[in-house]
Amino acid sequence: MSGRGIGRGRGSLLPPNGAGSGSLGGGRGRGGGRGVLFSSDHFVLEDDDEAEQETAVTGFQREREDATPSQSDSDEDDFISQFRKLHAPRTTVSEASRSTTSTGTVRWSGRGRKPAGAAGGGVLDLVDNCYPVIAETPSPTKVYSSVSSSSGEELSGASSGGNAVIVKSGELGKNVSMCVNYIRLEHLEKDRGGVWEYHVDFDPPLGSKKLRWSVLHSLVDIMGPTLNFDGGSKLFLPFELRDGVTNLSTPHPADHDDTVDVVIKHIKKQELEESVHFYNILLRQVFRELGLIEMQRNFYDYKNIFQVPEHKLEIWPGFVTAVEVYQDGLMLNCDSSFRVLRTDTMLNALDQMMYTEQNEGVHRYNARERFKEYALGKVVLTKYNNKHYRVDDVDWESTPESTFTQMRNGNPVQVSFIEYYRTNYNVIIRDSDQPMLVTRGKIKRQQHASNWQSPPENILLVPELCFVTGMTEEITSDFRIMKVVADKTRIPPLQRYHALQAFIESVNTQPKVRSIFEKWGLRLADGIVNLNGRVIGPPKMILGGNAVVLPQGGEFNRDLLRSQVLEPVPIQDWLVVCSSMDEPRAIRAIQNYGQVARPLGIPYKGDPRIIRVQKNRPSDFREALVNNIVEGVTQFVMVILPSNRDDLYRVVKTVCNHELAVASQVIRGQTLNDERKVRSVMQKVALQINCKLGGALWTIRIPMIEKIMFLGMDVYHDPKRHNRSVTAVVASINVTYTKYYSRCIFQQQQQESISSLRPVFLDALLTFQEHDGNGAFPDRVIMFRDGVGDGQLELTRQYEVAQMLSCFQELGIDPKFTFTVVQKRINARMFLDTGSHIENVEPGTVLDHTVTRRNYFDFFLVSQLIREGTVNPTHYIVLHDNSDIKPDVIQKFAYATSFMYYNWAGSIRVPAMCQYAHKAAGLVGQHIGREPSAKMNDKLYYL
C-alpha cells in the first residue's frame, strides 16, 4: 500500500507478547454507543436504551401477542394484597425479649429499633384497613455456620458477622419450580484436606507464561504432578513443602546454556472453598483440555465457528464461567457466550479510507483523521496469540520495519516487528508501510480513589494482524445483519440448558478432563441446580382520569393508549427546525401531532413556527436555534435532521440543554417518510414531550403512608478514554413518583466510585422538601446504584454511602435509608422447569436463596418480559440498611419502580431511576460534554 507518507523510525515500544523486559498486556473496558428503543423505521436518535430488554420492540404501539383479561382489583397477587399478607399475626414482646427456635433460627419480635445483632425486616401495621405502614420487626432469617470465602469489613445491615451466613428470604408470591445455571462442585472425600498457596519468583525474569510453565513442570520431581499455577506468580499445591522458602535451579527452557533460579515462598494454607483464584486456574486447564481458547477470561470453541461470509462476520460459541462459594456451597456458574468477530482487519479499514480519499474525496477530514477516529476504543483480536487489546492511539511514525530492544543471551538486540513475528509466530507481514496501533493497558486504582498508578508501557500492534471485534453502528443499524446474528446468539432457555448439560457430560466422561478435578478431590455434579423461586405481583398503575390498571405480563401498552396521560402539559408555543428538503415531512408531522395529542388528554393550542435551515451544517442549526428560541416562552423545539449525524445531534442538544434550557426532540427525516407510520411516531413524540415539559404519563400505587424518595445513580465512561466520566443522579421528589430531580457531574476518567456526591444529594433532599406540601423531608430513602462491580462494593460503601449519611446528619434528619447496588452485567440465568419443558420465567420472578451471596443481603429479580432468547435477571445487593427492611418490601420496591420508565409502557430490567440516570449520563457524556443548565434539573430532558 503506497502513498501513506508514513515515516520510518526506531521504535521504543514493545510487541504484544512479552519478548522485551517490560510489563505487557492489554486493557479491557466497557464499550459505549447508543442503541435504539424503537425499531429502525421509527426515530433513532432518541430513546437509545432498550437494548437491555433483549427484544426488538416497536415502542408504545406494540400489541401483546398473548393478551389475557385484566385481573380484578381484588386479585390475591396484587400489590396491596401482598403487602397485607405481610401483616400476619405476631406476638410482640418487650424490646429486651429475644427467642431462638429449635432449628437455630434467630428472630427478633419487638417494636421500634431492634437491638444490635438482631436481623430482620418489618411487619406492616394496617392504617384504616387500607394502607399499611412499616413497623420495625424482622424478616425470617436463617443462620448457618460456615466458612466465608469473602474478606473485608462487614456491611451495616447487609453482611453477616464472623463465619455466619445469613439467608434473608421473602415470603410473598406464588412458588415456582426453577433451575439455574449453577453446577455444584462436590468433594470426593469427607476429609477435604486443603490447598497451600505459594508465591513464585524467577531469576532472570521470564516474560512469557509458556516459559514459566515450562520451568515449573521441569520441577515435577520436587512438587509432584498435582500443581495449579496461574502462569504469573501464584502456585497452589495439595501439600506443604518442607521449607517456608524453597530455592531451586533448573536449565533455562529457551537457552540451555543458562539457568533459571526459582524461589518458592509459602504464603498460607486455605480450605478448598476459600480460594476463588485457585478454581479459576483449574477451569482454564479444563477448557484447554476440551479444546477451547481463552478470550478476555471467557472460553470459545474455534472449531465450531458460525461463518457469516456475506457480512464478513464470525460468531464464536463458548462459555463464561465463575466459581464462588454461595449460600448453599461451592458452585460453578456457567453460561453460553458468543463472541462476534469480523473477518476484516484494521488494515482493511485503513485501505478503504485511503481509497475513498484518493478516488472520491473526503469533505470533512482526511483518511488519517478518519482512521484514528475509527480505531480509538476498538477492541481487536490478534489470532496469532488469541489475545484482545484495546486501541488507544495510532502511531504514524512507526511501521513493522521499526525496531525494539529484545534480550538475547543476556544481551540487548534490536529486532524489527517483521522479524519478531516471523521468528516467534511464523507470521509473514506483507505490508511494511502500515502504521502501528498503540494500546496502553488499563489504569489501575490503588487504595484511595484519588491515587492512580501510571499506565503500563505502551504496546505496538500491527493492523494487518488485528481483527476487529464487536459490531459497528453501521452493522447494528442493518436489520438483516442483526437478524442473522440474533438467530445464532439469542438462544432460547432450552438450548442453553442443553449446552450446560453437554458441558457437564464432557467434563465427567472424558478421563483427562475429569482427572483435573479428581486429583484435587473434586467432581462436577451431574446436573444444574434445581430449586424453588417466587413470582410476586405487579403494582397497580394509575393513569389519567383515575384509571387503574394491573399490568399483564409486564405490559400495559393498550391501556395507556386507550386512556389519557396522568399530568398533561398544554402545548402552546413551540418550534420546528428543519431543512428545506424536510419541510413537507415537518408539515405532516405537525398535523399528526395535533391529532394524537388531544385523545391523550394533552391540550393542543396551536401549531408551531417552522424554521428552515438552508444548509446542513452544525453552525446553521445552531444559528436557527439561538435566533428563534425565546427563553421562558418557547416550550420546546422539534428538530428534524436530514441524516443520522452526530455533529448535528450534538449541537442541538448542547444549545437546548446547556445554553438555552429548553426541551428538545430530535427526529430523523427518514422516519417521517412512511405516511402510514407518521401517526404512530408522533404519538410517541407527544408522550415524550409531555414528560420533558414536566408532565407525567402514569404512576404506581405503593400502599405505604411513608414519604419515599427513590434515587438512581449511574456512571458513563468514555470508551475512547478521552473525556472525563459522567455521574448522573436521578431522584423522585414527590410522593407520587412523577417528578424527578436530575443532576450530572464530571469526575476522573474510568472512575466508578463517586467522591463528589454530597452536594448533589443535599440538593436532591432540599428539592424534595420544596415540592412537599408540608415542607417535609422523606421518611424513607431508597438508593438504587447501577454500575458497581463486585470488586467495588467496599469502595462504594466507603465513599458513597458515607457521603449520603453525612447529608442526613447535616440536615438534622434520620430517615430510613437503604443503599442497594443494581448489577445487570451478570451471568446468572433462571429457567422455569414445567416438568416437561424448560422456558423463561415470567416477570416478577424472585430468587433469594441457595445461589445468593454468603455475606450480603441480596436477591435476583426478573422484572422485564422478553419474547426472544433467554431472560437476564438483575442482581440486587443491599449494601447498607438502617431500617431492617424486609426482603419482601425491597423486592416489591425494585419491581414496582421498574414500571415507572416513561419510554416504555411496561416494566424494564432495572428500577426506572437507574435507567433515567443511565440516559442522563450517556447524553451528557457522549454529546453535551458539559453540565446541563440548572433550569433543566427538574425535567426529564434526556428521554
680 and 727 part of one domain: no
pLDDT band at 472 (very low <50, low <70, confident <90, very high): confident
For residue 573, CA distances in Å to 461, 505, 599, 601 come to 56, 67, 20, 18
- Among residues 212, 238, 270, which one ends one of the domains? 270
More confident residue, 64 or 204: 204
648-677 average pLDDT score: 92
700-716 average pLDDT score: 93
Alpha helices in 43-132 (DSSP H): 79-85
- Enzyme catalytic residues: 714, 752, 786, 918
Give which of 482, 687, 689 is closest to 575, Cα–Cα.
Answer: 689
For 398, other C-beta atoms within 10 Å of its C-beta total 25
Please report the pLDDT score of residue 721 as a whole number: 60
- Among residues 238, 270, 302, which one ends one of the domains? 270
pLDDT band at 920 (very low <50, low <70, confident <90, very high): very high
Of 240-254, 633-647, 910-924, the one with minimum mean pLDDT is 240-254
Check whether 116 has a pLDDT greater than 80. no
307 and 357 part of one domain: no
Which positions ≥6 away from 595 have C-beta within 8 Å?
679, 682
pLDDT band at 155 (very low <50, low <70, confident <90, very high): very low
Give which of 412, 432, 428 is closest to 420, Cα–Cα.
Answer: 428
For residue 792, CA distances in Å to 27, 420, 448, 604, 750 come to 18, 39, 12, 49, 13
Q: What digits encode the pLDDT tens for the residues 729-774?
A: 999 999 999 999 999 998 865 554 555 788 999 999 999 999 998 9
The CATH number of the domain holding residue 884 is 3.30.420.10
SS3 588: helix
456-476 average pLDDT score: 83
The CATH number of the domain holding residue 377 is 2.170.260.10
Check whether 35 has a pLDDT greater than 60. no
Kind of pairing between the strands at 780-786 and 708-716: parallel
pLDDT band at 410 (very low <50, low <70, confident <90, very high): low
H-helix or E-strand spanning residue 96: none
In a domain, 133, yes or no: no
808 and 767 part of one domain: yes
Give which of 540, 533, 535 is closest to 896, Cα–Cα.
Answer: 540
How far is the C-alpha of 64 from the C-alpha of 560, rounded, in Å? 13
| Cβ–Cβ < 8 Å for 519, 292 | no
How far is the C-alpha of 883 from the C-alpha of 138, rounded, in Å? 10
Percentage of the chain beyond pLDDT 90 is 48
Please report the pLDDT score of residue 44 as a whole number: 29
Please report the pLDDT score of residue 365 as a whole number: 52
599 and 732 part of one domain: no
Check whether 460 has a pLDDT greater than 50. yes
| Cβ–Cβ < 8 Å for 36, 668 | no
318-337 average pLDDT score: 92
Q: C-alpha angle 808/814/820, rounded to 5°?
A: 75
437 and 364 part of one domain: yes
414-435 average pLDDT score: 90
How far is the C-alpha of 551 from the C-alpha of 253, rounded, in Å? 67
Q: What digits encode the pLDDT tens for the residues 241-289?
A: 888 999 998 888 877 778 889 999 999 988 877 778 888 889 988 998 9
Q: What digits encode the pLDDT tens for the residues 67-91?
A: 333 333 333 344 444 444 443 333 3
The beta-carbon contacts of 347-352 under 8 Å, at least 24 apart in sequence, are 347/1, 347/431, 347/434, 347/463, 347/464, 347/466, 349/374, 349/375, 349/468, 350/1, 350/434, 350/435, 350/463, 351/1
**Count of structural domains within the chain:** 5
**Parent domain of 254:** 193-270
Return the bridge partners of 549, or none: 541
Check whether 191 has a pLDDT greater than 70. no
pLDDT band at 451 (very low <50, low <70, confident <90, very high): very low
Of 82-91, 208-217, 361-370, the one with minimum mean pLDDT is 82-91
Check whether 915 has a pLDDT greater than 70. yes
Check whether 47 has a pLDDT greater than 50. no
Give which of 752, 860, 759 is closest to 803, Cα–Cα.
Answer: 759
H-helix or E-strand spanning residue 591: helix 583-597
Check whether 121 has a pLDDT greater than 80. no
For 194, other C-beta atoms within 10 Å of its C-beta total 17
Please report the pLDDT score of residue 577 as a whole number: 95
In a domain, 155, yes or no: no
401 and 470 part of one domain: yes
More confident residue, 453 or 817: 817
Please report the pLDDT score of residue 101 as a whole number: 33
Q: C-alpha angle 502/506/510, rounded to 5°?
A: 160
Of 137-141, 309-313, 617-621, the one with minimum mean pLDDT is 137-141
Which positions ≥6 away from 845 have C-beta within 8 Å?
176, 178, 533, 534, 535, 830, 832, 861, 862, 873
336 and 365 part of one domain: no
How far is the C-alpha of 575 from the C-alpha of 643, rounded, in Å? 20
Please report the pLDDT score of residue 754 as a whole number: 59
878 and 816 part of one domain: yes
In a domain, 851, yes or no: no
Which of 72-86, 92-106, 352-366, 854-868 shows the highest mean pLDDT? 854-868
473 and 509 part of one domain: no
669 and 630 part of one domain: yes
Of 75-79, 214-218, 563-567, 787-791, the one with minimum mean pLDDT is 75-79
The CATH number of the domain holding residue 292 is 3.30.530.60
In a domain, 599, yes or no: yes
Return the bridge partners of 640, or none: 667
In a domain, 842, yes or no: no
In a domain, 298, yes or no: yes
In a domain, 402, yes or no: yes
Q: What digits encode the pLDDT tens for the residues 610-622?
A: 999 988 899 999 9
- Walk across the sheet containing 548-549 and list its strands: 548-549, 540-542, 699-701
Q: What mean pLDDT, rounded, does the chain reach?
A: 79
Of 75-84, 634-643, 800-809, the one with minimum mean pLDDT is 75-84
How far is the C-alpha of 555 from the C-alpha of 557, rounded, in Å? 6
How far is the C-alpha of 248 from the C-alpha of 220, rounded, in Å? 12
Please report the pLDDT score of residue 16 as a whole number: 54
SS3 237: strand
pLDDT band at 720 (very low <50, low <70, confident <90, very high): low
383 and 302 part of one domain: no
For residue 265, CA distances in Å to 201, 493, 744 come to 8, 47, 49
In a domain, 913, yes or no: yes
Q: What digits encode the pLDDT tens for the residues 826-860?
A: 999 999 999 889 999 999 999 999 999 988 999 99
CA 317 to chain centre: 21
Check whether 200 has a pLDDT greater than 70. yes
Q: 462476520: which residue's cell?
A: 313
Check whether 648 has a pLDDT greater than 90. yes
Task: Provide DSSP, 751-786.
Answer: --S-SS-HHHHHHHHHHHHHHSTT-PPPSEEEEEEE
Of 172-186, 407-421, 819-833, the one with minimum mean pLDDT is 407-421
pLDDT band at 446 (very low <50, low <70, confident <90, very high): very low
Check whether 632 has a pLDDT greater than 70. yes
594 and 674 part of one domain: yes
Query: What's the whole-model pTM score?
Result: 0.79
